[in-house]
Chains A and B, each alone.
Chain A
């Protein structure tokens, strides 16, 4: 079917604003009666707080209030309530706040911080998740079992650092391995990473003068979740809390979990009537927001001689940091999706979310999938070598396909997408370039992997939409999808114009999201806005057209069958009379002024269908409403003398059902691959004495222009999905998921070295090259 706007390379609706410096981000906002807050960070990974002396700080110029945890002890969380906004008796990671200064200016608040004197009793700390599970490990929390949590989703082990144990029990592991002819097994590690969105996190919060209501502006992908969390913290009804989300300068999941906002709200609660602003420094983004990834794991695969997979066993330990709320869902999805896009009849997976003395871990683009599929993506390559079977053939033999069953027991349907097609197209692209196996300066290698991803979402994850028709025929479209670079307003605009059949210039999507004026939305995560928000737009748009039809029938005293609708205009089929949406926007005014019909405004909604939490015993169930499949491949070369790796060509293909805006999709693919290459080659959060030591961009390197592939190819396959708006499947996080195993497989091809841990820095590669030379 032909579409006018859907499927087209429409230019971003926020483009002009973004090249002129117009969009307002959180740091750009200020209010009358505004104060500035700064937090004192512990700087020690685990300690008991013995005493805090704030007297000198209080007398510093401009200081309005110095508050410490004991002044107002509380805990917050969305699904696992274990975190204080400011430490009370115990510091559990070095970036934790122990006091807050509120002053007239940020400089004054900063100056006063150094005058606060804190006495600590240092406690033993633990960073490694496996060490943290040892019986004699220091306990980060003494009684994990006592915290309030969603009991159907989080399963702590009392008396330990394990706040969540996810189990996948599909089929019979022993039987599966006994049926196998070949077994491969390896340890893997995906270190802690930082999202490194260019915009630091921030919030501005104001309690009313009596402290009974809250208004907060925050760099948040989930304003409605933040509202619930603040409601729980301060025992104030959600209707009395108003959360605004401005434009976000990148999110990547790092702004989807509630992290620093409770600290700002807590501070503001001491000065009701004043707005309190706190923008994290870049250093604090590293030490005191959320980290991502942080997995150590083991995986074992069994297969028959013909390559048929019979069993998978995996154990994953997540160094999830000091608090559980943002992490335990990651552990779950990593557990059940670590299989990759393959049918494996017998799966036995244990994923442990473990408290450690680092900043808490939260969502990071594709969460759980890059960690889990690093293992399966690498291990299948090793298995192919062991079987002496072409890697491509092994993958294809075991691919999920219509009628086959995934790890959680869902039977794949005809509309799942063309996974073999994705692999074919990236391999064809990569194979077009011919390189030697080796020359004087370089080793050359090719690698690939296939991927899948499901959203991890609340069972009630929904979007709502309202559309108001204006008298000039322009539609105001209101949803609470957050714009953070992905282009959500653009896609919403295209979809609204398509469903209403009006020129795209006549659609205006609200870009000022707040929980009082914007319709409810679960949150902008898991690549779901197009898929789910799009359905809400379709729903609201068709209702609005129906309402206009009713109005037209009243005006013309006729039945709906007599009236046609096209391109924003109702036409009487017999008389040829016409009425536009604009003419009917406020009802229809007749010559004598009498007005009939309803104003044209409609609401719509969509909720993911029939999704459930995994079964507590088997870890299986209808956990996701959609899956996106894809494949990536690369050619690279390794410089023998430096260990530096150059990506010569990186190809990606995803079957996304329908690209609503192919240009934006390519943007997600191109950027996601480069982010993935950052993880694969350079990024790792490093500690010294329990404290993060690389807290800026000179210590924590992210890719620059010179680090990108010499060439990127991107392919969009479109096997229509039966549920998504205009058959679209989620796409946004996906391009990052298997970048690491793709390049590691290529490194194996190039050098024969089986890397199992990232990042592959030049030092790491060089050391491995020299060791492998000695070994030969």
Chain B
């Protein structure tokens, strides 16, 4: 059995991988109990399973676990710090970008990746990011609002 060693939400982890087609989402959810990462399609098409790996947004349901060897992974559980929500999380609440909540963690993680890499990302870039995700509840408008609001909040925080 292979051993996967990587860092998840700042904590070093070691996981024995069982035989078969084990994906990063399986490791996070089934081995580490980080069920905030959702699997909606198992084919990398809906974006619900998006996490941040080495700074990039990846759809963890199609990332073979072995590919995460030595990486740093951030999941939705690692975003709020010391009892304080991340500005993107706050923005989703304030913009009413949540309904059932199944697609929410993936969207937040994608935007985290985009906005940490490029704090001044254009609206077009944010639209491209949201457009990689499926949401069946909200009709997206408030999700885009949340993305723009999150950007504003993060810039304010940086300047503060």
Give A residues with C-beta under 8 Å from B: 11-12, 14-25, 27-28, 105, 107, 111, 195-200, 247-252, 281-282, 484-487, 663, 666-667, 670-675, 696-698, 702-706, 708, 712
Q: Are B43 and A199 touching (Cβ within 8 A)?
A: no
A-facing residues in B24-57 (Cβ within 8 Å): 29, 34-43, 45-46, 48
Verify if B127 is at the interface (C-beta below 8 Å from A).
Answer: yes
Contacts of B103 in A (CB 8 A): 198
B134→A702 contact, CB < 8 A: yes
- In the complex with contacts A667-B142, A705-B140, A198-B42 CB distance below 8 A: no
Known: A663-B96, A697-B43. A670 touches B142 (CB 8 A): yes
Count of residues in B whose CB is under 8 Å from the partner chain: 54
Beyond the given pairs A19-B105, A705-B127, 12 more chain A to chain B contacts, judged by CB atoms under 8 angstroms and listed by A's residue number, are A14-B98, A18-B98, A19-B108, A20-B76, A21-B37, A200-B39, A249-B101, A250-B137, A670-B141, A675-B136, A697-B45, A698-B43
Please measure, in the bound complex, the distance between the C-alpha atom of A248 and the C-alpha atom of B138, giving whole angstroms: 15
Which of B139, B142, B143 counts the most A-chain CB atoms under 10 A from its CB?
B139
Question: Which listed residue (A20, A485, A696) contacts B80, Cβ 8 A?
Answer: A20
Known contacts A667-B138, A697-B46; A18 and B104 CB within 8 A of each other: yes
| Assembly CA distance A169 to B19 (angstroms) | 64
Smallest Cβ distance from A2 to chain B, in angstroms? 24
Enumerate chain A residues within 8 angstroms of B138, measured Cβ to Cβ: 667, 670-671
Cβ–Cβ < 8 Å partners of A105 in chain B: 18, 20
Q: Does B135 contact A (CB under 8 A)?
A: yes
Interchain CB contact (< 8 A) of A107 among B20, B77, B139: B20
A19 touches B134 (CB 8 A): no
Most buried by B among A195, A487, A667: A667
The digit string for B79-106, where 1 denotes a CB below 8 A from any CB of A, is: 1100001000100111010111111110
Query: How far does the alpha carbon of A199 sit from the alpha carbon of B102 in the complex, in Å?
Result: 7
Asked if B18 and A485 sit within 8 Å, CB to CB, the answer is no
Q: Within 8 Å CB of B48, what residues of A?
A: 198
Is B130 at the interface (CB under 8 A from chain A)? yes
Contact of A199 among B42, B100, B133, B142 (CB under 8 A): B100
- Known interface pairs A107-B19, A250-B136; A21-B76 also in contact (CB < 8 Å): yes
Name the A residues within 8 Å of B98 (CB-CB).
12, 14-15, 18-19
Check if B140 sits within 8 Å of A197, measured CB to CB. no
**In the complex with contacts A107-B20, A698-B43, A19-B89 CB distance below 8 A:** yes
* Option from B18, B34, B43, B131 in Cβ contact (under 8 Å) with A706: B131
Complex alpha-carbon distance, A199 and B136, angstroms? 10
The answer on a CB contact under 8 Å between A28 and B29 is yes
CA distance A27 to B41 in the complex (A): 13
Scoring A198, A667, A697, A708 by chain B CB atoms within 10 A of each residue's CB, the highest score goes to A198
3 nearest A-B residue pairs (beta carbon): A21-B36, A249-B102, A485-B100
Q: Are A249 and B96 in contact (CB under 8 A)?
A: no
CB-based contact A698/B45 at 8 Å:
yes
Contacts of A15 on B, CB cut-off 8 Å?
Answer: 92-93, 98
Q: Is the interface of A mostly helix, strand, loop or mixed?
A: loop
Residues of B within 8 A of A195 (CB): 136
**Residue among A249, A487, A696, A697 making CB contact with B38, cutoff 8 Å:** A249
Q: Is B113 an interface residue (CB 8 A)?
A: no
In contact, A708 and B141 (Cβ under 8 angstroms): yes
Is B136 a contact of A252 with CB atoms below 8 Å?
Answer: yes
Closest residue to A22 on the B side, CB-wise?
A: B36
Kindly state the separation between the CA atoms of A705 and B126 in the bound complex, as whole angstroms: 11
Q: Which has the most chain A C-beta neighbours within 10 Å: B80, B127, B137?
A: B137
A-side contacts of B92, CB under 8 Å: 15, 19
Residues of chain B lying within 8 A (CB to CB) of residue A22: 36
| CB of A110 to closest CB in B, whole Å | 8
Is there an interface contact between A21 and B20, defined as CB atoms closer than 8 Å? no
Q: Show 8 residue pairs from A and B whose CB-CB distance is below 8 angstroms, ordered by the A residue.
A: A12-B93, A18-B101, A197-B102, A198-B38, A702-B136, A705-B133, A705-B140, A712-B139
Residue B75 at the A interface, CB < 8 A? Answer: yes
Report B's interface with A, CB cutoff 8 A: 18-22, 29, 34-43, 45-46, 48, 75-77, 79-80, 85, 89, 92-94, 96, 98-105, 108, 127, 130-131, 133-144
Task: State whether A705 touches B137 (Cβ < 8 A).
Answer: no
Chain A residues positioned under 8 Å from B79 (CB to CB): 20
A705 pairs with B38, CB closer than 8 A: no
The answer on a CB contact under 8 Å between B41 and A20 is no
Q: Which residues of A contact B75 (CB under 8 A)?
A: 21
Residue of B nearest to A650 (CB): B139
In the complex, the answer to whether B102 meets A25 with C-beta atoms within 8 Å is yes
Choose from A27, A486, A674, A696 the contact partner of B139 (Cβ within 8 Å). A674
A14 vs chain B, min Cβ distance (A): 7
When the two chains form their complex, are residues A24 and B35 in contact, meaning their CB atoms are under 8 A apart?
yes
Question: When the two chains form their complex, are residues A198 and B96 in contact, meaning their CB atoms are under 8 A apart?
Answer: no
Q: How far is A14 from B135 in the complex, measured between Cα atoms in Å? A: 18
Contact B46 A198 (CB under 8 A): yes
User: Quick one: which of A20, A196, A708 contacts B136, CB cutoff 8 A?
Assistant: A196
Check if B35 sits within 8 Å of A249, measured CB to CB. no
The answer for the CA separation of A670 and B39 in the assembled complex, in Å, is: 25
Give CA–CA (A98, B88) in the complex, Å.
Answer: 46
Chain B residue at minimum C-beta to C-beta distance from A671: B139
A696 touches B137 (CB 8 A): no
Let me know if A282 and B93 touch, CB within 8 A.
Answer: no
Contact of A670 with B139 in the complex, beta carbons under 8 Å: yes
Cα A15 to Cα B96 in complex, Å, equals 9
Given A20-B80, A708-B139, also A249-B45 (CB < 8 A): no
- Residues of B near A251 (CB, < 8 A) are 100
Contacts A20-B36, A281-B42 given; indicate if A247 touches B142 (C-beta within 8 A): no
Q: CA separation between A486 and B35, bound complex, in Å?
A: 22
B38: chain A residues within 8 A (beta carbon) = 25, 27, 198-199, 249
> Which of chain B's residues have a CB closer than 8 A to the CB of A17?
101
* B99 CB contact (under 8 Å) in A667, A697, A712: A667
Contact A20 B77 (CB under 8 A): yes
Question: Which residues of chain A are near B133, meaning CB under 8 Å?
Answer: 704-705
User: In whole angstroms, how far apart are the Cα atoms of A101 and B127 in the complex?
Assistant: 43
Closest Cβ neighbor of B35 among chain A residues: A28
User: Contact: A247 with B141, CB < 8 Å?
Assistant: no
Cα–Cα, bound, A11→B36 (Å):
21
**With a CB–CB cut-off of 8 A, which chain B residues contact A247?**
100-101
Q: B105 contacts which chain A residues (CB < 8 A)?
A: 19, 21
What's the Cα separation between A666 and B103 when bound, in Å? 19
- Give the contacting residue for B135; candidates A16, A198, A282; CB below 8 A: A198
Task: Report B-chain residues with C-beta under 8 Å of the C-beta of A671.
Answer: 99, 136-139
Give the chain B neighbours of A249 by CB distance below 8 A: 38, 40, 100-102
Greatest chain A CB density within 10 A among B22, B76, B143 is at B76
CA distance A21 to B48 in the complex (A): 11
| Chain A residue, CB-CB nearest to B140 | A705
- Report A593 CB to chain B, min CB distance, Å: 40
- B77 engages A487 (CB within 8 Å): no
Rounded to whole angstroms, the CA-CA distance of A487 and B89 in the bound complex is 18
Residues of chain B with a CB closer than 8 A to A199's CB: 38, 40, 100, 102
Are B134 and A704 in touch, CB under 8 angstroms?
A: yes
Q: Are A485's CB and B43's CB within 8 A?
A: no
Q: Complex: how many Å from CA A16 to CA B84?
A: 11
Bound-state Cα–Cα, A19 to B108, Å: 8
In angstroms, Cα B140 to Cα A712, docked, is: 11
Partner of B42, one of A111, A252, A282, A674: A282
Closest Cβ of chain A: how far from B138's Cβ, in Å? 5
Residues of B within 8 A of A252 (CB): 136
Q: Give chain A residues whose Cβ lies under 8 Å from the Cβ of B101.
A: 14, 17-19, 23, 247, 249, 485
Inter-chain CA distance A484–B89, complex, in Å, is 20
From known contacts A25-B102, A282-B40, infer whether A107 and B18 are also in contact, taking CB-CB under 8 Å.
Answer: yes
- Minimum C-beta distance from B27 to chain A (A): 13
Q: How far is the CA of A24 from the CA of B85 in the complex (A)?
A: 19
- Smallest beta-carbon distance A257→chain B, Å: 18
The residue of chain B having its C-beta at the shortest distance from the C-beta of A23 within the complex is: B101
The CA-CA distance from A606 to B144 in the complex, in Å, is 39
Chain A residues whose C-beta falls within 8 Å of the C-beta of B29 in the assembled complex: 27-28
Distance of A160 Cα from B102 Cα, bound (Å): 42
